[in-house]
Structure 1
Amino acid sequence: MEKRESKGKTQALNKQVQELGKKMIEFYQSHRKLTIIGGGILAVLLIAAIVLPILGKNDDEVAMQTAQVTIGDLTKTIDVVGTVKAVPSSILSFGTEGIVSDYDLQVADQVLEGDVLIMLKDSSISSSILQAESSLLDAQHELDKLINANSLLYEAALTLEDAEYAYRSKLDSWEYWNFNNTPQNAVDEAVESYIAKENTLTRAKDVYNTLSRQVENSDDPELAAAHKEMQAAQFERDKALRHVNYLLGHTFDHAVETDYIEYKQADAALQEALLTYEKYFDNSDEIAAAQANVQALQNTIDSAKIIAPFDGTVTNIMVDPGQLISSGTAAVQVDALDNLMIHVLVSEVDIEDVEVGQEAIVTLDALPNRQYSGIVVKVSQAGSDESGVVEFSVSVNVIDPAPAIKPGFTAVASITIDQVENALLVPSSALQSREGRNVVMKVDDQVNITPIQVEVGVSAESYTEILSDNLAEGDTIMVFSTTSDSQFFFPGPGGGFGLGGLGGERPKN
């Protein structure tokens, strides 16, 4: 009895819709140039936009249903396909040639950073590696001395103290001759100038004396020029000496010059001692150099070993005991299976909706009927153009991955880009769009159809959120689905324009 009543209502609704459609065609043909004004005509046109496709079709081709406006939660997602990868992941290779030694390593073994997984036989590796093992002991000893021992610093401190004492003593002896109390820097500059000109005079004398022994004629032009240059140098030297005597108030004789030279020697020794002390006081450069030497030797030794670079799981072994390998041969793959990532590509149309921190549901072809949680951890800011399609790289981290998930699995990540709770919802196929307006067809208890303009919020494939208050929970609305690829058609002046297919997933009542 209940089925007969439902069928009767559907037949009545179909009949009413077809009659309205026929009247609409007649109305349109007689008012082709009519400007649409007012809500009444708009309501008729909106109804016609939906019911016209029904004309000329039997009940098998067009299914017209009703649905209830409901309250519920709605989630909008972007589904993207990618491949599971462990991060970090590394394929480890030998850095030298040799023969693989026996090992106990097995696939699925858990390893720690620094663990030696496989080695080459000592008898098969080069002598340079064996020499590095010997040199490493000495290099490590020198490094330990620089880091821990202070004997060199203490020795440098004693040398510096002695140098400072000697400098002060020689400075006092030199300053004793400064009877005029001339500023010390002025005296030092004058003495340095005198010593430089004294050296110039010495060289000029050497040139003249050498020429005088070589030529017999005292009127030789070259000899005369050398003599003139010697006299000029003598004049400049005497002038500089008189200036030093003037500044000191005392003759710059042999005793004075000796004290000055010893003072300058003490100053040079002090500067050298100071540099040595500072070197050992802050020996970070020496320590860094020693550490680099130790590391270089260790790298040479490690080239004959496979060492785990991080904590992880052995996922593949590519060499066998006794196998002769060359440098660069891949031996072991290690993956951090507790940190699995899905790298996907998102189109430029959707990338603005994707953000770091968004939740995702992960499904895998290899593990059907199971879902895993994920979270977006990276969104690239630069797209790549592949065959005319611009896509952006997005990384989704799998939260608490199950042991059954393996790197290389194909995965689908459903990224949640919007979500509402306790919202007013209608089937998305109940919505019609006309000139930017969203409309649903409300059906009352007498099977009367009323177009209702609505404001929509979050829209997913099956359901759409209604923000306006002209619909309420429990209202009945029309939902259309077709079994063909026909387009809904609304005629307009000079031709027609399509409203688009209304097919899609049916809502579950």
Structure 2
Amino acid sequence: MRKKLGWLLVIILVVGVAGFFTYRALAERNSASATSLQTATVKLGTVTSAISSAGTVRSNQSATISWQTNGKVGEVKAQLGQQVAINEVLASLDANTLSQSIIQAQVELINAQEALEELKKPQPLKIAQAEIALEEAKAELENLLNPSDIAISQAEIAVINAQTAVNEAQKKVDQTKYGRGTDQQIASARASVLMAQDKVANLQEAYDRTPGKPEEDLAKANALANLTAAQNEYKRALAVLNWYLGSPNEEEVNEAYTQLALAKAQLAEAQKTLEKLKNPSAMDIELARAKVEEAQQNLETLKKGPTQAELITAETRLTLAQATLNQAYLTAPFSGAITEVQVLPGDIVSAGKPAFRIDDLSSLFIDLMVSEIDIHQIKVGQSAQITFDAIPGSEYSGTVTQIGLVASVTQGVVNYPVTIKMTNPDEYVLPGMTAAVSIIVAQHENVLVVPNQAIKFSGGQSIVTVLYQGQQIPIQVTVGLTGTSVSEVISDQLREGDTIVINASAAAASTSNFGRPGEGGLGFFGP
């Protein structure tokens, strides 16, 4: 029995000594490894998930302004960098080199403006004339339906007068076959010549008897004036006689026949009118009614004013003329800054030759390409962080404004266009610059965060190793939102302020023993 007890004491002593030295070795190893551990503190913070891409800055709107016709540049008003307003004239062609079509457009523009103004303004005179025409058409119809005795009498008198005019015209035609004047006209003309001749002789005798000179004596001057008047009267009488005695020329003959034809036409019209009054035909009545309707419609049209179609036609004519004339000028299509100038006064230009570039720099945008894997995470309105290699030390912000629906495929890689609007650009950001953009697709605030390197994976579990009193204790966690450097972790056993090991050993990160000492089967330590 004593022998067995001795052996038991020996065994206990050996185990105790071995345990002591084992504990001492482990403590020394833990102490040595602690000096090389990389640790971090569990914090409450914000985790941001972003999708990164690169793109090029562009202006809100950009346009190249080119000449629309040929010519010589006369004046260049816009300069590089100048701010211009919409429709502001930037340059113009020399008026002496304009094409014929533009010169004609200047005249057409004036005519089109006058026509449009005439169409729009009130027409009191034309309305009054239309009212008179309507009353005349109604009276004509009434005369056909119920002719009055007065109307018939007037028509009969018109026929008589027209017949008289025909007779007189016929006499003149007949006279052209013999001479200009009748025997009676020639005799009367001869008598006038003789009387004028005697008057000249008598006044000549009176002038001769009067002493003195006309320029010095009033009586002599009066005698001369009377004599001169008589001589002129004699010349006129003689000219009339000679004309009557002469034969009519070709022009006079033609005029006589023309007057006869006109008189006959007027007689036929008068006879037709009289016949129509006495025996109107159904066709005459129908035509008269149609004339009344036409006059009525014309009056109503004038009172209503121009139709929409008439206004559109007149305005289109004006617009076309103005558009042709505008080819001599270059104007700004929108408000912006002149970013390129390729024209000088005196340049010979042709249609299609560029002259200016204009950019609306009031807003700047960045065009990106995002992979098909990430595109569904992008939403309009998401924020973006923007940096430029060309502007070191500065960070800008932006917002997603547009997501393309059609992909671009390059060597099998599928990307979709995304547009970012910069919210705080400054004078250093210029169109054409390359930008690095991070689009924030998710963000969790006031959550437990740890460095991404501190999260280990073992047996399909996510592990964070807590350092407590020199011991590395693996804690199972659920990983939430992952950012570029930190991740959100969820665990009842992890608290803000805990120290975690980034470079935990494989053994420490093993899933064989979870939990804090001092609680449960393994025990947990307090906060």
Scaled to the shorter chain, the TM-score interval is 0.5 to 0.7
Alignment length (residue pairs): 351
User: 2:363 — aligned with what?
Assistant: 339
User: 2:239 — aligned with what?
Assistant: none
User: In structure 2, do the counterparts of structure 1 residues 287 and 464 end up closer, same or farther at CA, with 3 Å as the change threshold?
Assistant: same
Structure 1 residue 261 and structure 2 residue 233: aligned?
no
User: In structure 2, do the counterparts of structure 1 residues 440 and 137 end up closer, same or farther at CA, with 3 Å as the change threshold?
Assistant: same
* Paired residue type of 1:103: V
* Contact 1:363 1:411 (8 Å CA) reproduced: yes
| Structure 1 SS opposite 2:81 | coil
| Structure 2 SS opposite 1:385 | strand
User: 1:120 — aligned with what?
Assistant: 93
* Paired residue type of 1:399: T
* Paired residue type of 2:112: A
User: 1:33 — aligned with what?
Assistant: none
1:274-322: per-residue Cα shift (whole Å, max 9, x none)? Answer: 88359x5463222222222222222222222221111111111012222
**Distance across 1 between alignment mates of 2:491 and 2:315:** 71
Q: TM (normalized to structure 2)?
A: 0.58
User: In structure 2, do the counterparts of structure 1 residues 160 and 370 end up closer, same or farther at CA, with 3 Å as the change threshold?
Assistant: farther
1:367 aligned residue (367, 391, 407)? 391
* Contact 2:404 2:418 (8 Å CA) reproduced: yes
* Paired residue type of 1:382: V
Alignment of 1:207-222 (within 5 A): none
Shift of 1:103: 2.7
**Distance across 2 between alignment mates of 1:354 and 1:407:** 24
* Paired residue type of 1:459: T
User: In structure 2, do the counterparts of structure 1 residues 462 and 165 end up closer, same or farther at CA, with 3 Å as the change threshold?
Assistant: farther
* Contact 1:82 1:412 (8 Å CA) reproduced: yes
User: 2:113 — aligned with what?
Assistant: 140
User: 2:434 — aligned with what?
Assistant: 410
Task: Give the superposed CA RMSD.
Answer: 3.8
| Structure 1 SS opposite 2:38 | strand
* Contact 1:338 1:400 (8 Å CA) reproduced: no
* Paired residue type of 1:345: M
| Structure 2 SS opposite 1:336 | strand
Gaps of 5+ in 2: 1-25, 146-278, 511-527
Shift of 1:394: 0.9
* Contact 2:38 2:501 (8 Å CA) reproduced: yes
User: In structure 2, do the counterparts of structure 1 residues 293 and 312 end up closer, same or farther at CA, with 3 Å as the change threshold?
Assistant: same
Structure 1 residue 151 and structure 2 residue 123: aligned?
yes
**Distance across 1 between alignment mates of 2:377 and 2:51:** 9
Shift of 1:141: 2.2
**Distance across 1 between alignment mates of 2:140 and 2:94:** 67
User: 1:273 — aligned with what?
Assistant: 298
Shift of 1:261: 2.5
| Structure 2 SS opposite 1:429 | helix
Structure 1 residue 310 and structure 2 residue 328: aligned?
no
Shift of 1:10: 11
2:44 aligned residue (61, 71, 76)? 71
* Contact 1:9 1:447 (8 Å CA) reproduced: no
Shift of 1:405: 1.7
* Contact 2:476 2:491 (8 Å CA) reproduced: no
User: 1:472 — aligned with what?
Assistant: 495
Structure 1 residue 87 and structure 2 residue 110: aligned?
no
Shift of 1:91: 0.9
User: In structure 2, do the counterparts of structure 1 residues 366 and 274 end up closer, same or farther at CA, with 3 Å as the change threshold?
Assistant: farther
Q: TM (normalized to structure 1)?
A: 0.60
User: 1:223 — aligned with what?
Assistant: none
* Contact 2:119 2:306 (8 Å CA) reproduced: no
| Structure 2 SS opposite 1:101 | strand
**Distance across 2 between alignment mates of 1:348 and 1:361:** 21
User: In structure 2, do the counterparts of structure 1 residues 256 and 387 end up closer, same or farther at CA, with 3 Å as the change threshold?
Assistant: same
User: In structure 2, do the counterparts of structure 1 residues 9 and 415 end up closer, same or farther at CA, with 3 Å as the change threshold?
Assistant: farther
| Structure 2 SS opposite 1:100 | strand
User: In structure 2, do the counterparts of structure 1 residues 293 and 64 end up closer, same or farther at CA, with 3 Å as the change threshold?
Assistant: farther
Shift of 1:395: 0.9
Deviates more, 1:434-443 or 1:137-146: 434-443
- Structure with higher Rg: it is 2
Gaps of 5+ in 1: 1-7, 17-58, 175-253, 483-489, 491-509
1:320-377: per-residue Cα shift (whole Å, max 9, x none)? Answer: 2222122111001111111111111111111111111111122222212112221111
* Paired residue type of 1:302: N
Shift of 1:453: 3.1
* Paired residue type of 2:44: I
**Distance across 1 between alignment mates of 2:322 and 2:359:** 24
Deviates more, 1:281-290 or 1:433-442: 433-442
Shift of 1:473: 0.6
* Paired residue type of 1:140: Q
